[in-house]
Structure 1
Amino acid sequence: MRGIPPSGDLLALARSGDGEAFRGLVEPYRRELQVHCYRILGSVQDAEDLLQETLLAAWRGIDGYEERASLRTWLYRIATNRCLNALRAGARRPPEHADYRPEVPLPEPSHRRAEPSWLEPYPDALLDEIADLAPGPEARYETRESVSLAFLAALQELPPRQRAVLVLRDVLGFRAAEVARVLDTTENAVTSALKRARGALARELPGSGREGAPLPDSPRERRIVADFLRAFEAGDVDAVVALLTDDARLSMPPLPLEYRGTDTVRHFLATVALRPGRRHVLVPTRANGQPAFGAYQRDPRTPILHAHGVIVLTLAGDRIAAVTRFLDNSLLAAFGLPRTLRAGFEEGR
Structure 2
Amino acid sequence: MAAADLIERARAGDGQAFRELTEPYLRELQVHCYRMLGSFEDAEDALQNTLLSAWQSLGGFEGRASLRTWLYRIATHRCLDERRAAGRRPARDWDVDVGAEWPEPTRVGEVVWLQPFPGALLEGAVGLPLGPEARYEQTESVSLAFVTALQVLPPRQLAVLVLRDVLGFRAGEVAGMLDSTVESVNSALKRARAGLQRRLPTDAGHQPPPAAGSAAEDAIVAKFVHAWESADMDALVSLLTDDVFVSMPPIPFEYKGRDVVARFCGAIFDAGRRFDLVPSRANGQPAFGAYLRDPSGISHGVGLYVLTLTGDRIGAMTRFDNSVLPWFGLPRSLPSR
TM-score by length of 2: 0.95
**Change beyond 3 A, Cα 1:174–1:98:** farther
**Aligned partner of residue 324 in structure 1, secondary structure:** strand
Q: Report the counterpart of residue 145 of structure 1 in structure 2.
A: 140
2:213 aligned with 1:217, yes or no?
Answer: yes
Q: Report the counterpart of residue 291 of structure 1 in structure 2.
A: 286
1:307-349 alpha-carbon deviations (Å, 9 max, x no partner): 111100000011010011112x1111110011111121xxxxx
**Change beyond 3 A, Cα 1:131–1:198:** closer
Question: Is the CA contact (8 Å cut-off) linking 1:46 and 1:93 kept in structure 2?
Answer: no
**Change beyond 3 A, Cα 1:230–1:118:** same
**Change beyond 3 A, Cα 1:188–1:18:** same
Q: CA RMSD in A?
A: 1.6
Deviation of the 1:276 alpha carbon: 3.5
Q: Report the counterpart of residue 314 of structure 1 in structure 2.
A: 308
1:255 to 251, 254, 270: 251
Question: Is the CA contact (8 Å cut-off) linking 1:28 and 1:131 kept in structure 2?
Answer: no
Deviation of the 1:305 alpha carbon: 1.1
5 Å-filtered alignment, 1:55-70, equals 55-70=51-66
Give the AA of the match of 2:68: R
CA distance in 1, matches of 2:208, 2:167: 22
Q: Report the counterpart of residue 178 of structure 1 in structure 2.
A: 173
**Aligned partner of residue 306 in structure 2, secondary structure:** strand
1:96-133 alpha-carbon deviations (Å, 9 max, x no partner): 534754355532111223x3522111111001123852
Question: Is the CA contact (8 Å cut-off) linking 1:124 and 1:286 kept in structure 2?
Answer: yes
The answer for unaligned runs of 5 or more in structure 2 is none
TM-score by length of 1: 0.92
Question: Is the CA contact (8 Å cut-off) linking 1:135 and 1:142 kept in structure 2?
Answer: no
2:165 aligned with 1:159, yes or no?
Answer: no
Q: For this pair of structures, how many residues does the alignment match?
A: 335
Question: Is the CA contact (8 Å cut-off) linking 2:126 and 2:138 kept in structure 1?
Answer: no
Question: Is the CA contact (8 Å cut-off) linking 1:237 and 1:274 kept in structure 2?
Answer: no
5 Å-filtered alignment, 1:99-114, equals 100-113=96-109
**Aligned partner of residue 308 in structure 1, secondary structure:** strand
2:335 aligned with 1:342, yes or no?
Answer: yes
Q: Report the counterpart of residue 200 of structure 2 in structure 1.
A: 205
Q: Report the counterpart of residue 331 of structure 1 in structure 2.
A: 324
Q: Percent identity?
A: 59
Give the AA of the match of 1:188: E
1:274 to 269, 273, 290: 269
**Change beyond 3 A, Cα 1:91–1:337:** farther
5 Å-filtered alignment, 1:32-43, equals 32-43=28-39
**Aligned partner of residue 291 in structure 2, secondary structure:** strand
The answer for unaligned runs of 5 or more in structure 1 is 1-5, 345-349
Q: Report the counterpart of residue 229 of structure 2 in structure 1.
A: 233
**Aligned partner of residue 303 in structure 1, secondary structure:** coil
**Change beyond 3 A, Cα 1:172–1:230:** same
Which has the higher mean CA deviation after the structures are superposed, 219-228 or 88-97? 88-97
Runs of 4+ with >6 A deviation: none
**Aligned partner of residue 296 in structure 1, secondary structure:** strand
**Aligned partner of residue 272 in structure 2, secondary structure:** coil
**Aligned partner of residue 223 in structure 1, secondary structure:** helix
